[in-house]
Structure 1
Amino acid sequence: MTTGAGESRLRSAVLAQAWEKIPGVEVLSSADGGPLTRTIKKIIDPLVIRTAARPRLGRPLLDPAAAAEVAELLRADALRLGATAAWFTHLKRQRRALRITAGNVQDVCFPLAYELATGFGTPGPEAPAMAVAALRDLHGEGGEAGVEKLTGYLADPRISAGLTADLHRRWRATSADPVAGEGAELLEKFVDSLSDSAWRALADSATGHEFGLALRRPGGATALTQTVRAISGLPVPDLGLQRGDRTAVPPLNRRDENGGELLERSVERRVRATLRRLPADDRDPVADLVDDELGRVAAGFGLGLPALAACFALGVVLAPALRPLDGAAPAGVPEFARRLNAQVAREGYVLHARRALAGGTPLTPQPDAELLRELREFAKQFLSRLWVRLHGFDVRGDLPADAADVRDLITGVVRSTSLDLRTKVRRALVARLPDLEAVS
């Protein structure tokens, strides 16, 4: 690709060239001297360039004016970026001293280092103490991360044995009756009407839990698939809910997980997610958090509140229609499901993938198979993200207020899943831009 005057330039090259002129940022830089990917993601884009407010500066190719503006924004922030690098060194050292392991150190400390640089400039003699205070304020619990307390709690053999026994007792005590016809009718009515009255009837019923608990019966997956197909009008792909035809009792510890299936995630993994979601001041003791999670695990779909289980059942019914590589959903599919699929199918990266498949042209230089697999498994990824969102609601005690809230929740999760895949495709295509230019 040419880079003369008046020519568009790769954004990555613009960033690298401007970055090389900033002193003292080695800890934020890659081996080739440019900014680390996480530096771009956590500092440069959101805090320096502010691409959310200036989307034209976040494009893979920058016109001359945009390239000049990006370079100028970096140069203007050079002193603060140098101070950010110095603060990051202090934060990393004190984080290790405090034995904090929650989160990736760069993901956690890059924005915090920039915040300290903004507030206090270059670190002085008091920097170690200030770094400790900042980390304790961020992670809570007097500097000891909640994840470490959880790990220590579950490591006690007597506690672990008692919790495992309690988990199996609760699992067996929960009824797993077949899905009632009335529940399926309530779900189908809401999918068709999306009305407040239909949502209230569904949310107030045990339908969501019935659907989830039915998966624990012998042949449960087959029975649920038949119900979902009757409502959605489509064959049901693997949705990643469980490994076999019935849900296995989830393990207590993450090390004992056999896979990443949604309903068989360990109690430890779920409580770790709770610790990430709740501020330190709002958390109950670890023992109480584990006990709360045991109650959720025993409930249908691993969600304690019936309305949230109903939301997930709705997601299961809609998921078979989310097949963006196949284009428009066929006739007979509920209208809401058709709109959701169309929302993704018209994305530029999906259209590109469909053209690439039709013409036998590689989608990207290397990860074609992986990206196409993720596109083909869009329904599974949507459900994974929906469950995580609903689990967060359950932890905080939040509920959708009405049918519009439910519709917005589902639509937002579909959009979030699509944006994540778009980012992956864009990164792969950017790496291939010189080749594409050469043959265009």
Structure 2
Amino acid sequence: MPTPSQPTGDERRPRAMVIDHAWHGLGPGLESLSGPLGAPLTRTVKLIVLPLIVRPALRPELAADFLGPAQVASLDGLIRESGTRLAATAQWFTLLKRTRRALGIVAGNPQDLYFQRCFELATEHGAPAAGADATARAVVEDVADTVDGRTVEALKDHLADAVRRLRLDAKLAAAWERRDPAPSDATAAVALAAEVLEACGAPGPARNSPQYVSMVEAGHGGLFGRALWTHASGVWGHEDLPTHLGLTARQVPQRPEVGRGASTATLPAPLDRTLFERLFVVLQSSARREELPTVPELVKQEAGRSCAPLGLCDESLRVAVVLGGRLAVGLDPLGTGEGAPGRTAAHRAVNSRWRREASALRARRMTVSPRPDPDGGVLDALAQDLRTPWAAYMRRLWVRLHGRDVRDAPLEDLDAAWAVLDGVARSVMMDHRARVRSALRTLSAAPARPAEQRSA
């Protein structure tokens, strides 16, 4: 497995920046695939640019986060060569959304449901022409039929039945009582996780890492999950860090409830979520719902999964939680603990990339400034995120692993595990970058305070 990517010189450029620059060079006609400032939407990159144009699986030299000059030219060329097809994709998407409204269909996110279909239509037909309305209607109806029974609305209807809710609650209670909360030693799992993370930074392939295989075969993920049920402490070498690293707001996870609703803005910690909230996230975030079981089967499986160690059934995914926790407690975007004991090659790679974020360096200095916060607490909150990055990391990691568990997609080797662990780190970093920029824009737009107020 290649070393976790990071810039090694001025000649290397972030892949995201290359995509953004090439996208802006395509000109008008891409508005329905772009954000307010003309950059490609996150879903455009995730669902169209990377899997259908760049295709990193076939072009591994373009899979890194930072690209050399030759790779930059190759990626730029791929996107620019696809300009006509992307413009046609945007036109098809506009037509499919209009057709969807005319048919009164409201379930699902149109971008998730139609982006890839629109690219396929653009590849096959070019821009919409004669007969496009009939084609659009057929596609919208086909997608609606495919995802039927796999929507949040279907989940609400399924759990609205009082008798079914009582049976499901009894099933949850029985599964929770069958747990084995015997005290477990999570320290050994964490120690082995450090060896695995060191292998992630070593040169050469690491897919056959004996430490990773050993962790999965010995059930170290399950042992760690059972340790959370017994309020274990001190496993990370820092007494002030909870063993669960924010996966629950309680000392130990409680038996999950059935639940009746969910809101993205108010979702609790992963292990505190109701059955409804767990499946709500899966249904909301799934780009290809046809790959999911139907709602009754989803509910049936989730009842057992929610009472399993770490709320996951697959052992390789549980091991990924342990690896992610070991990585998370060593995240240091501020560079305050460089050279601290216990840092692995994976830590050095991720921390170096985070600290080299040129666009956020000034903002980070502001977040740790002792001066009074002029915007009423936004910078204080950002500073706290930087001091405890493990909280956001573990929450996002669990959601991704849960999605894989629902789809029966284990992490077959260390390559696959590292791709998830590193991907979550990049995601958290980019999210924080966006929040910092937003805070700075707000501050710069605010009227200056009178001198007497500032000196008071």
2:252 is aligned, of 241, 246, 249, to 246
Kindly provide the amino acid, as one letter, of the partner of residue 421 in structure 1.
Answer: H
Task: Give the equivalent residue in structure 2 for 1:291.
Answer: 300
Map 1:80-91 → 2, pairs under 5 A: 84=90, 88=94, 91=97
Are 1:333 and 2:333 matched, yes or no?
Answer: no
TM-score by length of 1: 0.69
**Distance (whole Å) between structure 2 residues aligned to residue 188 and residue 35 of structure 1:** 44
Tell me if the contact between 2:333 and 2:354 (Cα under 8 Å) persists in the aligned partners. yes
SS in 1 for 2:41: helix
* Cα distance change, pair 153–235 in 1 and its aligned pair in 2 (3 A): same
Task: Give the equivalent residue in structure 1 for 2:227.
Answer: 214
**Distance (whole Å) between structure 2 residues aligned to residue 434 and residue 235 of structure 1:** 39
Map 1:176-215 → 2, pairs under 5 A: 176-180=181-185, 183-192=186-195, 194=198, 196-215=209-228
Deviations 1:77-116 (A, max 9, x none): 7x9969956862652452573543222x466557766765
**Distance (whole Å) between structure 2 residues aligned to residue 100 and residue 188 of structure 1:** 49
Are 1:315 and 2:320 matched, yes or no?
Answer: no
Tell me if the contact between 1:208 and 1:310 (Cα under 8 Å) persists in the aligned partners. yes
TM-score by length of 2: 0.67
Structure 1 gaps of 5+ residues are 1-10, 56-68, 436-440
* Cα distance change, pair 355–281 in 1 and its aligned pair in 2 (3 A): closer
Structure 2 gaps of 5+ residues are 1-19, 57-61, 63-75, 200-208, 447-456
Tell me if the contact between 2:192 and 2:211 (Cα under 8 Å) persists in the aligned partners. yes
**Distance (whole Å) between structure 1 residues aligned to residue 403 and residue 100 of structure 2:** 30
* Cα distance change, pair 326–344 in 1 and its aligned pair in 2 (3 A): same
Offset at residue 316 of structure 1 (A) = 2.0
2:424 is aligned, of 413, 423, 429, to 413
Task: Give the equivalent residue in structure 2 for 1:59.
Answer: none
Kindly provide the amino acid, as one letter, of the partner of residue 260 in structure 1.
Answer: P
**Distance (whole Å) between structure 2 residues aligned to residue 306 and residue 329 of structure 1:** 33
Task: Give the equivalent residue in structure 2 for 1:64.
Answer: none
**Distance (whole Å) between structure 1 residues aligned to residue 220 and residue 414 of structure 2:** 16
**Distance (whole Å) between structure 2 residues aligned to residue 139 and residue 189 of structure 1:** 47
**Distance (whole Å) between structure 2 residues aligned to residue 298 and residue 398 of structure 1:** 19
SS in 2 for 1:100: coil
Offset at residue 384 of structure 1 (A) = 1.6
Tell me if the contact between 2:193 and 2:326 (Cα under 8 Å) persists in the aligned partners. no
Map 1:243-282 → 2, pairs under 5 A: 243-253=249-259, 255=261, 259-275=267-283, 276-277=285-286, 279-282=288-291
**Distance (whole Å) between structure 2 residues aligned to residue 168 and residue 124 of structure 1:** 58
2:385 is aligned, of 374, 384, 388, to 374
Task: Give the equivalent residue in structure 2 for 1:151.
Answer: 156
**Distance (whole Å) between structure 2 residues aligned to residue 163 and residue 197 of structure 1:** 41
SS in 2 for 1:324: coil
Tell me if the contact between 2:334 and 2:364 (Cα under 8 Å) persists in the aligned partners. yes
Map 1:7-406 → 2, pairs under 5 A: 36=36, 40-41=40-41, 84=90, 88=94, 91-95=97-101, 97-103=103-109, 105=110, 108=113, 129-141=134-146, 145-180=150-185, 183-192=186-195, 194=198, 196-217=209-230, 220=231, 223=232, 225-229=233-237, 235-236=240-241, 239-253=245-259, 255=261, 259-275=267-283, 276-277=285-286, 279-336=288-345, 338-339=347-348, 340-357=350-367, 367-406=378-417
Offset at residue 414 of structure 1 (A) = 1.3
Q: Which has the higher contact order (CA 8 A, sep 6+)?
A: 2
* Higher Rg of the two aligned structures: 1
Deviations 1:234-288 (A, max 9, x none): 7426832112211122222252798520111222233344445484544333212
* Cα distance change, pair 101–245 in 1 and its aligned pair in 2 (3 A): same
Task: Give the equivalent residue in structure 2 for 1:62.
Answer: none
Tell me if the contact between 2:175 and 2:307 (Cα under 8 Å) persists in the aligned partners. yes
SS in 2 for 1:244: coil
Which stretch shows the higher mean deviation, 138-147 or 345-354? 138-147
Tell me if the contact between 2:379 and 2:439 (Cα under 8 Å) persists in the aligned partners. no
**Distance (whole Å) between structure 1 residues aligned to residue 38 and residue 161 of structure 2:** 36
Deviations 1:411-433 (A, max 9, x none): 23212321232244345557788
Kindly provide the amino acid, as one letter, of the partner of residue 135 in structure 1.
Answer: V
* Cα distance change, pair 188–429 in 1 and its aligned pair in 2 (3 A): same
* Cα distance change, pair 197–121 in 1 and its aligned pair in 2 (3 A): closer
* Cα distance change, pair 355–120 in 1 and its aligned pair in 2 (3 A): same
Kindly provide the amino acid, as one letter, of the partner of residue 211 in structure 2.
Answer: A
Q: Which has the higher helix share?
A: 1
Deviations 1:113-170 (A, max 9, x none): 6765676577678555433322244454375653332222112121122112211211
How large is the RMSD of aligned CA atoms in angstroms? Answer: 4.7
